[in-house]
Structure 1
Amino acid sequence: MTELELRDLRKTYRSRGRPPVTAVRGLDLTLGSGELLGLLGPSGCGKSTTLRMIAGLETVTDGDILVAGRSVTAIPAQARNIGVAFENYALYPPLTVAENLAFGLRARRGGDRGEVARKVADMAARVDLTPLLDAHPATLSSGQKQRVCLARALIREPDVLLLDEPLSHLDAAQRDTTRRELKRIQRDLGHTTILVTHDQEEALSLADRIAVMRDGVIQQLGTPYEIYDSPANVFVADFVGEPAINLLPGIAEEDAHARLSGSVRVALPVPVPPGREVVVGIRPEDLSLAGAEGLPARVVAHEPLLEAGIATLALPGVEHPLVVLTGPEVRLAHDESVRVTADARLTHVFDAETGDSLR
């Protein structure tokens, strides 16, 4: 069980004739032993660069990386005892699954054959690869290849495990199955783990905590519930959640309301100084079409998805459409008039200029 700490970690790329590009801007993170942290963000936000610096595959411009309290920044990658499962699998085609798993052990230790064979058999059993030990990578499905890649990273008994978009090449059914297996394996073995992903569902379902990144900076660090229920800013609120949160510009008024248009006002969770420009955030599942009260709206579209539905509504005078998650029994027609209500306790309000939460 190993603690991992990043101290003011920075990465700047420099090339002749071009301005420097800073990919990671002063990351401070501490992972407890056995914790799984999700690094979540869009492409280009710096999450994979951070992972590569921890692994020793990228040099560190500034800052420090500590594993079990010891700096590893100046230690070469092969000596760090950090396991990495790559997005592209990186398996050796001529070797069988068993030989792929054994390769790193033999390369590092010279390896007693009996001990290596025991470790391979044990790891294969843990990740359900025993029937495939004699198979070659070309004959495996994407999910099986991903398990081989994960097993190869785990078999070296790493101090820290790094997972780089581990489920990105799998179809929906394989992702669900592999995600559950991955969570079980990580819990059973207790490795301190960083999961790099742009997939919010993956991060929310797997991680103990999530760091949401943008432009090389952590926007918010917290549990999945904290990230979802109390987003720190508009970016986090918009990036996490499916369907995406409704973000509606308005002007704060005296009675803890915001005016979205001449006739549309919504209650806010906290009082905001009157006249302040705000962005009101309401998640689709926190809106209701039940009852005669609420704001008048017109149905633009309704997508019945069997287990739920998604309604797109137009509010009078409001430019942005309003998306509502409906129950499976709801049936709506195009241009139908409805009323929509929101619970102020579940509504979010952000400063329009800075994007920061005002709750």
Structure 2
Amino acid sequence: MTELELRDLRKTYRARGRPPVEAVRGLDVRLRSGELLGLLGPSGCGKSTTLRMIAGLETVTGGDVLVGGVPVTDRPARRRNVGVAFENYALYPPLTVRENLAFGLRARRRADRGDVDRRVALIAERVGLTAVLDDRPATLSSGQKQRVSLARALVREPDVLLLDEPLSHLDAAQRDTTRREVKRIQRDLGHTAILVTHDQEEALSLADRIAVMRDGVIEQLGTAHEIYDHPATRFVADFVGEPAINLLPAVTAPDGRAAVSGAVLLPLPVRLPPGREVVVGVRPEDLALTGEDGVRARVLAHEPLLEYGVATLALDGVEDPVAALTDPGTRLARDDRVRVAADPGLTHVFDAETGVSLR
């Protein structure tokens, strides 16, 4: 097992006649041996560029990549001992699964045939590919192709494992199954790994820690619980969570609450001076339907989803609708009148201009 460290890692793209584009702007991250870090963010935020710089597939504009405490920034990809499982599988169609797994080892000429065969057989058993070793990629399911891509990265016994959107081409059932397999394999083999994904469920379920990226920087780095329960910025709060958090522009009131549209007063977790413009965030599961207390609201729609329901509500006097989770047995019809309340301890508040948490 090996530590991985990124020090002030930067990537700037330059094209003649165009202004430079800063894809990655000074990342500082240190992974413990055997840790899996999730790089989570929307398309274009710099997460795949970061992965490619670690792998040596993209030149580094500034900063360093260290593997096991040793700088590898100037080493070519073939000398970094980094395994990459690509989003598009990148398998060789004319070759069998066995030959795909062995290709990299034989190309490097660092192992004899017997050792290559042993390592291929071992990793194929680990990831459940023994039965299809003599098949070609065209005959495999999407889930099997993804396992071949993962096995090919693992068979070289890498110091660092990089997973680039590994489940994006799988359907829902295959994604759930393969996600559990990826986690089991990474835990069993103990590889230090980075998972690049835009899928929050993937990151939350697989990663030990998550780095939420936006515009080439990390907005927040922490465990899944830290990021979900204590988002550092409005962007993080909005990006992580399904259904998405309710975000309501408001102005702080003299009594310590926040006025939304001048009509609804919501509790705040901190005391702020009156008249400050903020954005109040309440997750749907923290907005409870109550009996007599709470803010009046009208039901716009209700989706019963067996395990829970999602009610879309219009708070009296507030233009933007909000979502609230309901119990499985709750039945609501359009235009029903309800009351909802938010727990101050579970309410988030962000600066309206900067988006930074004020908690």
TM-score, reference length from structure 1: 0.99
CA distance in 2, matches of 1:209, 1:273: 35
Note if contact 1:254-1:271 (Cα within 8 Å) is conserved in structure 2.
Answer: no
Q: Which residue of 2 aligns with 1:122?
A: 122
CA distance in 2, matches of 1:67, 1:261: 53
Q: Which residue of 2 aligns with 1:165?
A: 165
CA distance in 2, matches of 1:74, 1:114: 33
- The reply to whether residue 140 of structure 1 matches residue 164 of structure 2 is no
Aligned partner letter, 2:69: G
Note if contact 1:38-1:209 (Cα within 8 Å) is conserved in structure 2.
Answer: yes
SS of the aligned residue for 2:251 comes to strand
Aligned partner letter, 1:104: G
What's the C-alpha RMSD, in Å, of the aligned pairs? 0.8
Q: Which residue of 2 aligns with 1:84?
A: 84
Aligned partner letter, 1:255: D
CA offsets per residue over residues 169-223 of structure 1, 9 Å max, x none?
Answer: 0000000000000000000000000000000000000000000000001000000
Q: Note the C-alpha offset of 1:292.
A: 1.5
CA distance in 2, matches of 1:143, 1:225: 29
CA distance in 2, matches of 1:119, 1:91: 18
CA distance in 1, matches of 2:68, 2:109: 22
Q: Which residue of 2 aligns with 1:240?
A: 240
The residue correspondences of 1:1-359 to structure 2 (distance < 5 A) are 1-359=1-359
Note if contact 2:3-2:33 (Cα within 8 Å) is conserved in structure 1.
Answer: yes
CA distance in 2, matches of 1:33, 1:109: 28
Note if contact 1:301-1:312 (Cα within 8 Å) is conserved in structure 2.
Answer: yes
Q: Note the C-alpha offset of 1:347.
A: 0.5
SS of the aligned residue for 2:285 comes to helix
Q: Note the C-alpha offset of 1:110.
A: 4.9
Note if contact 2:295-2:316 (Cα within 8 Å) is conserved in structure 1.
Answer: no
CA distance in 1, matches of 2:8, 2:186: 27
Where does the alignment leave 5 or more consecutive residues of structure 1 unmatched? none
Aligned partner letter, 1:161: L
Where does the alignment leave 5 or more consecutive residues of structure 2 unmatched? none
Q: Note the C-alpha offset of 1:111.
A: 2.9
Q: Note the C-alpha offset of 1:254.
A: 2.5
Note if contact 2:263-2:318 (Cα within 8 Å) is conserved in structure 1.
Answer: no
Q: Note the C-alpha offset of 1:36.
A: 0.2
Aligned partner letter, 2:3: E
CA offsets per residue over residues 278-328 of structure 1, 9 Å max, x none?
Answer: 100000011111322110000011111122111100012212111011111
Point out the more displaced range, 171-180 or 249-258. Answer: 249-258
SS of the aligned residue for 1:186 comes to helix
TM-score, reference length from structure 2: 0.99
Aligned partner letter, 1:130: T
Note if contact 1:38-1:196 (Cα within 8 Å) is conserved in structure 2.
Answer: yes
